[in-house]
Structure 1
Amino acid sequence: MGVLISDHQSSVLIDGLHKKYGDDYLFPSKEVVHKINTKFKPNAILFTHYHGDHFSASLSREYLALNKKAVLFGANQITKSFSDYEGRVFTITTKDYTKQTIDIGKVKVTGLKINHAGKRHVAVQNVGYIIKINNKNFLHVGDTNWLEEIDLFNTLQLQDAGIDVAILPYWMLLQDDASILIKKYINPKKVIATHISPKIKKKELLDLKNRYPDIYFLTALEQQIQL
């Protein structure tokens, strides 16, 4: 799910600093982590939740130590480990679905609770982000699903947020009415699908790409999409 959003002047990295978690998940190599730390140098590192395919505390600490002006965003399950970085860490509360916006210069970060998919993960504090950079709004939802049983996306009220690009885990596309739901509840101009396992069957991925010819699929480390 790791995504770097950049306008070549400012940038944020979402879920991009983590270690190997299992064969179903891509992870940044040491070379990619080095590039993040020394070349890309995002203004902020954001984390949707604490699972090991999204977040590494040690890599995050290393990044903050090397980049003294960078800040970190996450729910309390993440930020409670960074009390020694007071003033550089922003906690997104998840007691309700209130949107919380923090201005960090040329980038605006809005965080809000978006429930994690799966009944066994109900205690996970999953945060979605709306990143405003260079007058474009990017939505990243972390590991959620449509969760129609709790009327999640109707509650979130994202359709009027002016989303230019929605970054969604690919399983949100698997529902037969996914295109309708994306339009109804998010209404983005573009969609990027992520969290695609390196073990996905080629036919399954090809079928998805054929079904959604206008959607971008992130399947490789350092893959770039110009928007």
Structure 2
Amino acid sequence: MKLTKYAHACVALEKDGVTLVLDPGKFTPEAEEAVAGAAAVLVTHEHADHFDAELISAALDARPDLVVFGPAVVTEQLGEHAGRVTAVTAGDTFTVGGFSVAVDGERHAPIHPDIPVADNVGYLVDGAVFHPGDSYHVPNALVGTLLLPTSGPWTKLSEAADYVRAVKPQRVVQIHELLLSELGQKSTAAILGEGGLTGTALTILAPGESLTV
């Protein structure tokens, strides 16, 4: 499976000519391009840096083959589109092309007691890659590659380190990085990576870079 990183929280997974795009939001300049090549779009939650309702609605209108999955608060903003938009919750499973997807996780990480906690699901694709959205939810499965948020108003390095230790992935790939400078990303990787608190390699991919997972 080929994983391509886009800016911030958006990634694409490609296998046998089928592509899934996860969290194409308004912080991702390449989101429209990514969605144009996708068989399915998977959204973890409704925050704008993960979910561009206008972009996805336009893609659904233009492409009768596109399907979208997300929590109900996301799918309600898109409409049914003849059954091509599906609300998912923790415990659900579905397939797209040759991909199998398990939904795990329910809530966004707390930001502040005064800010409501959003619904947030994570996606485990082919039992290999886990995208947690904005959470440190530990999936009930082995994970080969963990997509790890490294910046945001809810993130904390000590919690991120404990999260990686709990998941025990073979590899960590940074996502949700836009609030960090280049120096900040490198510093975070040093703290969380193989020589730091987790003992697990942390990969930083520039937008458009890919690797095989």
User: Per the shorter chain, which TM-score range?
Assistant: 0.7 to 0.9
Distance 1:114 1:209, change over 3 A: same
Partner residue, 1:33: 32
Query: Which letter does structure 1 place at the counterpart of 2:171?
Result: K
Partner residue, 1:216: 203
Alignment counterpart, residue 110 of structure 1, candidates 102, 118, 125: 102
Looking at structure 1, the residues matched to 87 and 188 of structure 2 have their Cα atoms a distance apart, in angstroms, of: 36
Which whole-Å deviations, capped at 9, do the CAs of 1:90-119 have from their partners, x for residues lacking one? Answer: 1013xxxx4110123311122233421223
User: What SS does structure 2 have at the residue aligned with 1:166?
Assistant: strand
Gaps of 5+ in 1: 20-25, 146-151
- 1:198-213 matches, cutoff 5 A: 200-211=180-191, 212-213=193-194
Higher helix share: 1
| 1:196 and 2:195 matched | no
Query: Which letter does structure 2 place at the counterpart of 1:4?
Result: A
Partner residue, 2:164: 182
Looking at structure 1, the residues matched to 135 and 34 of structure 2 have their Cα atoms a distance apart, in angstroms, of: 29
Partner residue, 1:137: 128
User: What SS does structure 2 have at the residue aligned with 1:49?
Assistant: coil
Distance 1:162 1:176, change over 3 A: closer
What percent identity do the matched residue pairs reach? 23
Structure 1 residue 209 displacement after superposition: 2.8
Structure 1 residue 85 displacement after superposition: 0.9
CA RMSD of aligned residues (A): 2.4
Looking at structure 1, the residues matched to 50 and 107 of structure 2 have their Cα atoms a distance apart, in angstroms, of: 15
- 1:1-227 matches, cutoff 5 A: 1-16=9-24, 18-19=25-26, 26-29=27-30, 33-34=32-33, 36-37=35-36, 41-93=37-89, 98-117=90-109, 118-119=111-112, 120-132=114-126, 137-145=128-136, 153=138, 156=139, 158=140, 161-171=141-151, 174-175=157-158, 178=161, 181-184=163-166, 186-197=167-178, 200-211=180-191, 212-213=193-194, 214-218=201-205, 220-227=206-213
CA contact (8 A) 2:105 2:121 kept: yes
Q: Which has the higher contact order (CA 8 A, sep 6+)?
A: 2
| Runs (4+) off by over 3 Å | 119-123
TM-score, normalised to structure 1's length?
Answer: 0.74
TM-score, normalised to structure 2's length?
Answer: 0.79
**Count of residues in Structure 1 that have an aligned counterpart in Structure 2:** 193
